[in-house]
Structure 1
Amino acid sequence: MVDTVPTADAGGLRERKKQQMYRRLSDTAIALFVERGFEGVTVAEVAAVVEVSKPTLFRYFPTKEDLVLHRLADHEGEAARVVAGRGAGSSALEALREHFLAGLERRDPVTGLNDAPEVLAFHRLLYGTPSLLARLHAHVERDEAALAAALNGGPAGLPRHLAAGQIVAVRRILAQENWRRILAGASADELRPEAVAAADAAFTQLESGLAHLE
């Protein structure tokens, strides 16, 4: 009798193929949106290029905006994960500072310190499309809520949400300033020392105002 129980390898293969389809659909859509504008491309056109049906595409991405926001999916809740996974003796802000500085060092696009043409094109698409900005705002709110839940020190509830909001805002503003400077003509390598100094100063200011966080 043939064993028909799926193996772990078979399950892993299915998951890899699923993730490949997510990436293929998202990358194809973003390329089309960058070329012709978000409103200039239909979901049906994206599906046709990838050679899947429109219902199949919607099983992966329920909305058109999801095709773009998928690129940020791995970063949602990132600050909370950094805080939750920090080493013994490291405060939340120390861990977040080191994480942001490491992102600058590797030119992580979410730090804004990346001058690759495709990254700049994605940022223009994201920040130049109202419906994507609205979805990005929801992404930020979820990040704040997750970070507030991960923080220790001081009273729970509103104070921790306020602290989380300040931390998320600082990370966002640092990234946007780096992106703005690069759009103005600076290269990522040229800007790096200033970006590191600005991040250090910003986190030092946070630490003085949020000294109660553990």
Structure 2
Amino acid sequence: MATETVSSAPPAGLRESKKQETRQLISDHATRLFIAQGFEQTTIAEIAAAARVAKKTVTNYFPRKEDLALDHQDAFIGSLARTVTDRQAGESALAALRRAFTDAAKAAEPVAGFSGPDFAGMIADSPTLSARLRDLHDLREAALADALAEATGAARDDITPRTAAALLGAVHRTLFQRIQELTLAGQDNPRISATVTAAADSAFGMLEPSLADYATA
């Protein structure tokens, strides 16, 4: 009679769920310490101790210290490109991005810059995080350029998608910074949302003459 082999390893779905829980636990403790002590002053050893994991576990999940503070960076980098890829029929890239930003501002979404005063202060007080945030804006713009090139069938050496991405990325970068400034000034999200929604109308409107029909689905 054949005997069954019983595996002690948890199912793949359970293992992945456990990994996500551990990752979130480490991130939460890191953010708490960064806000309380400052990013530059907080060590990986302190984060590991707070999360009750080994230092190697922290660095396995977050190879760079900045990743612990900016742990949604992948979603941020791909946000504008996804908006263009998922634009509605008959909608230009500009119209899609304008609509998406307005929706994000009304919902006070973190990816648009609504991070709260503690988090915004942590970024502003850290040269390392401020520099990394600039890098993320650059990476987001590059991803947008790729999406625009694909949407328009542009040749590899065509500068048009990169130029359009630079213009659209600059508007998003400016609005993101404005949200951070108003947050640090003590304004609440509803007031900030109203302010930047009006500012977005003006900023995106400046691009209408050149990009109104660009990359229309």
Q: When the two structures are superposed, what TM-score results if normalisation uses the length of structure 2? A: 0.85
CA contact (8 A) 1:26 1:71 kept: no
* Cα distance change of structure 1 residues 18 and 82 upon mapping to structure 2, 3 Å threshold: same
1:186 match: 187
* Cα distance change of structure 1 residues 65 and 185 upon mapping to structure 2, 3 Å threshold: closer
Extract unaligned runs of 5+ from structure 2.
none
Deviation at 1:53, TM superposition (A): 0.7
1:149 maps to which of 146, 149, 159: 146
* 1:1-214 → structure 2 map (5 Å cutoff): 1-2=3-4, 10-112=11-113, 114=114, 119-151=116-148, 152-153=151-152, 156=155, 157-211=158-212, 213-214=214-215
Deviation at 1:207, TM superposition (A): 2.4
Kindly provide the CA deviation profile for residues 132-167 of structure 1, in whole angstroms up to 9, marking residues without a partner as x: 222222222221111111113495432211211211
Deviation at 1:109, TM superposition (A): 2.5
Extract unaligned runs of 5+ from structure 1.
none
Deviation at 1:175, TM superposition (A): 2.1
Structure with more helix by fraction: 1
Letter of the aligned partner of 2:195 in structure 1? E
- Find the residue that maps to 1:170 and give its secondary structure: helix
Count of aligned pairs: 209
Tell which deviates more after alignment, 76-85 or 146-155.
Answer: 146-155
Kindly provide the CA deviation profile for residues 13-37 of structure 1, in whole angstroms up to 9, marking residues without a partner as x: 2212111211111111111011011
Letter of the aligned partner of 1:89 in structure 2? G
Aligned sequence identity (%): 40
Letter of the aligned partner of 2:177 in structure 1? Q
* Cα distance change of structure 1 residues 127 and 185 upon mapping to structure 2, 3 Å threshold: closer
Give distance in 2, aligned partners of 1:2 and 1:145: 53
Give distance in 2, aligned partners of 1:24 and 1:119: 20
CA contact (8 A) 1:154 1:213 kept: no
* Cα distance change of structure 1 residues 86 and 133 upon mapping to structure 2, 3 Å threshold: same
Give distance in 1, aligned partners of 2:130 and 2:100: 25
Tell which deviates more after alignment, 98-107 or 186-195.
Answer: 186-195
Give distance in 2, aligned partners of 1:211 and 1:194: 23
* Cα distance change of structure 1 residues 73 and 119 upon mapping to structure 2, 3 Å threshold: farther
- Find the residue that maps to 1:76 and give its secondary structure: helix
* Cα distance change of structure 1 residues 82 and 3 upon mapping to structure 2, 3 Å threshold: farther
- Find the residue that maps to 2:206 and give its secondary structure: helix
Kindly provide the CA deviation profile for residues 107-126 of structure 1, in whole angstroms up to 9, marking residues without a partner as x: 113334x4xxx722111112
CA contact (8 A) 2:29 2:51 kept: yes
CA contact (8 A) 2:92 2:212 kept: no
* Cα distance change of structure 1 residues 213 and 42 upon mapping to structure 2, 3 Å threshold: same
Q: Pairwise CA RMSD of aligned residues? A: 2.4
Q: When the two structures are superposed, what TM-score results if normalisation uses the length of structure 1? A: 0.87
